Chains A and B, each alone.
Chain A
Amino acid sequence: MSTPGPALTQPGTARAERGPGPVRVRLSVNGTEHTLDIEPRVSLLDALRERLDLTGAKRGCDQGTCGACTVWVDGRRVLACLTLAMSCEGHEITTVEGLSQDGEPHPMQQAFVEQDAFQCGYCTPGQIMSAVALIAEGHAGDDAEIKEWMSGNICRCAAYPHIRAAIRAVRDQT
């Protein structure tokens, strides 16, 4: 969120007020540009799920407490429910649908399957987006650190030990 996109860096230009009705917004999601007409109040989560049919990110609490909506903006894990879609113009959004490459699951997705790291699966896309970020951040050193830095992703099935096992498995591959 801190890196302005190229179209937004002209100094001194007050851009026009937009809304409250639908306005045209350009979003870059998983490397693809999308143009959609949405009201400014629409969250990134609702834009992804309801408009772009990217239903991986889940609506759990819709108030920033559960982590089920975790996606990356410019490579950093954030909560899509507390992010306005319009504020993401000029930034790169990555969702769980963008993790796989060449039709193969991401190693973390594979590890979640192998380690039985979910039951109902509702929190899983958010867990996976957090888990991949966690390793990239260097915060997966031991179980205590994994617990602390994954605490923003709640799993009501309490699959936590298996989630940690999946994270350890990927950490130790890389």
Chain B
Amino acid sequence: MRPITYLRATDTATAVAAVSTDPTSDFLAGGTTEVDLLRQDVLNPRRLVDINDLPLAGIEGTPEGGLRIGALARMSEVAAAPVVRERFPLIAQALELGASAQLRNMASMGGNLLQRVRCSYFRDAESPCNKRDPGTGCSAIEGFSRGHAVLGTSEHCIATHPSDVAVALVALDARVHTLGPNGERTHAIDDFFLLPGDSPHREHPLEHGELITAIEVPAAPVARHSLYLKVRDRESYEFALVSVAAALSVMDGTIAEVRVALGGVATKPWRARRAEDFLVGATVRRDDFAMAARVELADARPTPMNAFKVELAQRAIIRALDMLSDGTGTGPAPRPGIGSPS
């Protein structure tokens, strides 16, 4: 691991100024991506600016029924918050199905959105990779691509976005609040994640030194009846092959409102708008769920190794909607125990 210097920031403006004026500085929050990739020579900042003391860790329900999540709130804290479990079960489930208990205690919500891809060619610090070393090519397209994306890919990158909770947040039209060298900005979350196109090294619209301060989730009564379904090679502590964040509201046998987003299959957290458009006004029938899923995956461009994901994603969508419509899905998530070891 290369030598680094360390600066602990005590206020947000100072932290932003320190990083934005130095291209070789990175923010340090939970460290679960930054320290890992620094040690593997994938990231190479000269200086880390520790932001863990900044007052950005609050989790609040808004009077309108939404949420405001501070960027430094830990995954475990957000998952355990009663207001999150009651209003947005899919957020709590997505968080608790991600990583491990230890990592969830460390990883911040802002850092979760900015976590880097799990593509082994990106992470080995050697292979050609347009994301790590622009212009060198994509090793995954002709390489080992079983876990890679089938939607939103380009000839330059097929890495899957790894976050679970971002999938739930995309389904909920969250907004990402930032503070940068040019002041405060708000990004619609669907615009916050960029498709790789011909610049896969550019994953989000943030300027260098622009810091996520909060994630805002607008009120969505439909989300009280929601779930996060995650399909993976092992039952726990594993990234998704396919995941579905879904919420469903039915009136008189007809779908009144529906949210569907996919993880594990796309280069960004994937809002399944085609499926949603098909489903609104449709009947609550498995045939309609299947058609919606087929419409969403129609443009999938798999490799020989990940072609199974096209079918798996459709089946996962159908199952998620089945679970929500027959009541085996979820209402508010139960409250977890709280406390700390002593």
Instruction: Tell me which residues across on chain B come within 8 A of A41, comparing CB atoms.
Output: 1-4, 38
Instruction: Tell me which residues across on chain A come within 8 A of B8, comparing CB atoms.
Output: 8, 15, 86-87, 89
* Contact between A19 and B4, CB atoms less than 8 A apart: yes
Instruction: Tell me which residues across on chain B come within 8 A of A58, comparing CB atoms.
Output: none
Given the complex of chains A and B, what is the CA–CA distance between A149 and B237 in angstroms?
9
Identity of the chain A residue whose Cβ is nearest the Cβ of B14 in the assembled complex:
A14
Total interface residues on A, using CB and 8 Å? 57
Contact A20/B105 with A2-B72, A75-B340, A136-B341 known, Cβ cut-off 8 Å: no
Is B236 interfacial (CB 8 A cutoff)? Answer: yes
Given the complex of chains A and B, what is the CA–CA distance between A106 and B261 in angstroms?
46
Given the complex of chains A and B, what is the CA–CA distance between A16 and B5 in angstroms?
10
Contact of A87 among B31, B236, B338, B341 (CB under 8 A): B31
* Contact between B36 and A1, CB atoms less than 8 A apart: no
Given the complex of chains A and B, what is the CA–CA distance between A120 and B76 in angstroms?
31
Is A142 interfacial (CB 8 A cutoff)? Answer: no
Instruction: Tell me which residues across on chain A come within 8 A of B72, comparing CB atoms.
Output: 2
Identity of the chain A residue whose Cβ is nearest the Cβ of B50 in the assembled complex:
A87
Say which one of A27-35, A47-55, A60-68, A109-117 lies at the interface with B.
A60-68
CB contacts under 8 Å to B, within A51-107, are: 62-64, 67, 70, 72, 74-79, 82-84, 86-87, 89, 94
* Contact between B5 and A147, CB atoms less than 8 A apart: no
Interface SS of A by simple majority: loop
Given the complex of chains A and B, what is the CA–CA distance between A23 and B3 in angstroms?
12
Q: Which of B38, B47, B72, B102 has the most CB of A within 10 A?
A: B102
Contact of B11 among A12, A150, A151 (CB under 8 A): A12
Instruction: Tell me which residues across on chain A come within 8 A of B102, comparing CB atoms.
Output: 67, 70, 77-79, 130, 152
Total interface residues on B, using CB and 8 Å? 48
Is B53 interfacial (CB 8 A cutoff)? Answer: yes
Contact of B341 among A20, A79, A133, A151 (CB under 8 A): A133
* Contact between B52 and A40, CB atoms less than 8 A apart: no
Nearest Cβ on chain B to A134's Cβ, whole angstroms: 7
Interface SS of B by simple majority: loop
* Contact between A63 and B39, CB atoms less than 8 A apart: yes
Given the complex of chains A and B, what is the CA–CA distance between A152 and B75 in angstroms?
15
Q: Which of B8, B11, B57, B76 has the most CB of A within 10 A?
A: B8
* Contact between B10 and A14, CB atoms less than 8 A apart: yes
Given the complex of chains A and B, what is the CA–CA distance between A132 and B337 in angstroms?
14
Given the complex of chains A and B, what is the CA–CA distance between A94 and B14 in angstroms?
31
Given the complex of chains A and B, what is the CA–CA distance between A133 and B2 in angstroms?
33
* Contact between B35 and A84, CB atoms less than 8 A apart: yes
* Contact between B106 and A152, CB atoms less than 8 A apart: no
Nearest Cβ on chain A to B118's Cβ, whole angstroms: 11
Is B183 interfacial (CB 8 A cutoff)? Answer: no
Identity of the chain A residue whose Cβ is nearest the Cβ of B29 in the assembled complex:
A1
* Contact between B10 and A13, CB atoms less than 8 A apart: yes
* Contact between B52 and A82, CB atoms less than 8 A apart: no
Is A24 interfacial (CB 8 A cutoff)? Answer: no
Instruction: Tell me which residues across on chain A come within 8 A of B36, comparing CB atoms.
Output: 63-64, 82
CB contacts under 8 Å to A, within B231-255, are: 236-237
Is A4 interfacial (CB 8 A cutoff)? Answer: yes
* Contact between B339 and A137, CB atoms less than 8 A apart: yes
7 A-B residue pairings within 8 Å (CB atoms) = A12-B10, A14-B7, A40-B3, A77-B102, A78-B102, A82-B32, A151-B236
Closest CB pairs A-B (n = 3): A138-B337, A152-B100, A75-B340
Binding site for B on A (CB under 8 A): 1-2, 4, 8-21, 23, 39-41, 43, 62-64, 67, 70, 72, 74-79, 82-84, 86-87, 89, 94, 130, 132-139, 147-153
In the complex, given contacts A19-B5, A130-B102, what are 19 additional A-B residue pairs having Cβ atoms less than 8 angstroms apart?
Answer: A1-B52, A8-B10, A14-B9, A21-B3, A40-B3, A41-B38, A62-B39, A63-B36, A75-B340, A76-B341, A77-B105, A77-B341, A83-B106, A84-B28, A87-B6, A136-B340, A137-B337, A137-B340, A152-B237
